[in-house]
Amino acid sequence: MRATSIGHAGILIETEYGSITCDPWFDPAFFASWFVFPRNDQLSADLLSRIENADYLYISHLHGDHLDDSWLATHMSRDTTVLIPGFPTRELERHMRALGFNNIIRTVDREELNLAGMTVVIHVETSITDGPGGDSTLMVSDGQTRLFNQNDCRTTDLDTLRQHGPVDLHWLQYSGAIWYPMVYEETPERMRELIDAKVDSQFTRSLKYVDEINAKAVVPSAGPPCFLDPELFQFNMITGDEFSIFPDQMSFLSRLTAAGRNGLLAIPGTEIEVTPQGCTVQHPIADADVQAIFTEKRDYLTRYQSDWAPWLEQAKASWHPPTTNLLQTLKAWWEPLLAMAPTLRSAVGANCLMRIGDLEIIIDFRAGEIREFNNEPYRFRFEIQRELVETVVADRAVDWSNALFLSCRFRAWRDGAFNEYLYNFFKSLSVERMRRAEAEARRKLDPPDGSEEIELGGYIVERACPHRQADLSVFGEVDGQTLVCTLHGWRFDLESGECLTASDRRLRVRRADPTTGS
């Protein structure tokens, strides 16, 4: 097996049985804020051809540094077969079909799939943290070696992962992929504390996965991005003194060495041959030039910045200009969604002020209203350039975490602790997403009574899934004689109630009376 880095979380996996292009990202993401580091705009023509014409395409999740719409639309062969994770919704599948990809295999969570000799298995993590779609990992085996592509998925089912067999090569995220705490208003002393704690927690989590997977070799991947806009350049970690949560590969490789692990450095174009005897690494440039990327990082980023400056200016000029009815547009869009989510609104429990240029808007979560700010109290505040908000509104972006906040092009303040439900609102700006966000809030804060029953597909079933009490009125789907809880993929036989996923769970179920519905 050969694994070639194509930048960030991107990998080209090649075996004698077929090839898979994973998460190809080339065009800068998140309002031209994130650029691939090290740069991947100088790959060889041969490698690009292999990437574009791979047998299979795997997209781990919907975020812009993994799902590059513009590049996929103009470069990736439509003959490739797309491996879709078994997410609870078909949002990713619909997205790929809209891009023209119609050869699709919708995989089943945690189930191995044989692709003419190459075995793949995709594990899904379903959390509102990543939007209703969640995130996923990919395990690939050619019968001799095994690669685990974790990207930035915080997978939890480690026991099942280990059952697939020993791992030879583990690719995983170790660096930041969030805007916190850099955009928040804090004193320099407090910001230093928060930054250091965030970086340490990132490394600790990643090293925990390294220990649990116990692969022969580990490749730091899925970050960090770099920031070439002069307005954001301070978010690059160069000396280590910056207020940045984006340490580079060399930092994590040092941690791996200290932990006695075999860490491998990969830059875009690096080929890693994996055999039962071990791994060999071939970089696309001389080793001294590879090291210079990191030892002379400021110079490297400055040259990179100069090359992309004209593109960056054009991108910023394309942002949507102010309209005259932004408040009315948001009110018409968001108030029906707020009406769907009383539990989520209660969990936020306070006003959020949005300063959008010279327009000040209050999101009143208690009342479910959007209105002009009138000096009322608030506990959350965002200050965002008007053109950025106008652009995501014009695009009807349903996940502002992905479409806006990851750009780091805003300032934030809050009175008190992090409130996950506030951000869950901004990640769920469609009926489909808000329905699931409200259900997730109910599951956590007001779980269904174990005695409650609902009707699904001609059967009366208990409302709370026996696995983790997910609300089956939202997450339950009938598939023939099987009920599927789409939150975690658990399956139950509708005649017997037997759990087909595990042996220690049973669903209370009976056929509905056709005359009474009970």
Rounded to the nearest angstrom, the gap between the alpha carbon of residue 337 and the centroid of all alpha carbons in its chain is 23
Least confident of 88-92, 425-429, 446-450, 483-487: 446-450
Q: How confident is the model at residue 158 (pLDDT cuts 50, 70, 90)?
A: confident
The matching CATH number, chosen from 3.40.50.300, 3.40.190.10, 3.60.15.10, 1.50.10.20, for 2-312 is 3.60.15.10
- Residue pLDDT, tens place only, 3-12: 999 999 999 9
- Residue pLDDT, tens place only, 289-316: 999 999 999 999 999 999 999 999 999 9
For residue 233, what pLDDT is reported?
98
For residue 278, what pLDDT is reported?
95
pLDDT surpasses 90 at 27: yes
Length of the chain: 518
What rounded mean pLDDT belongs to the chain? 93
For the chain, the domains span 2-312, 326-443, 453-511
377-401: b or e for each residue (b if 16 or more CB lie within 10 Å)? ebbbbbbbbbbbbbbbbeeebbbbb
For residue 439, what pLDDT is reported?
86
Residues paired with 2 in a beta bridge: 14, 273
CATH of segment(s) 326-443: 3.30.1050
Quick check: helix, strand or coil at residue 507? coil
Q: How far apart are CA 436 and CA 59, in angstroms?
A: 22
CATH superfamily, with its number, for domain 453-511: Rieske [2Fe-2S] iron-sulphur domain (2.102.10.10)
pLDDT surpasses 80 at 467: no
**Nearest alpha-carbon partner for 6 in 17, 18, 16, 19:** 19
**Nearest alpha-carbon partner for 297 in 243, 342, 240, 376:** 240
Which is it for the CA torsion 244, 63, 89, 505, positive or negative? negative
pLDDT surpasses 90 at 474: no
For residue 129, what pLDDT is reported?
57
Q: How far apart are CA 15 and CA 382, in angstroms?
A: 48
Q: How confident is the model at residue 448 (pLDDT cuts 50, 70, 90)?
A: low
What residues contact residue 317 under an 8 Å CB cut-off, 6+ apart? none
For residue 128, what pLDDT is reported?
60
pLDDT surpasses 90 at 96: yes
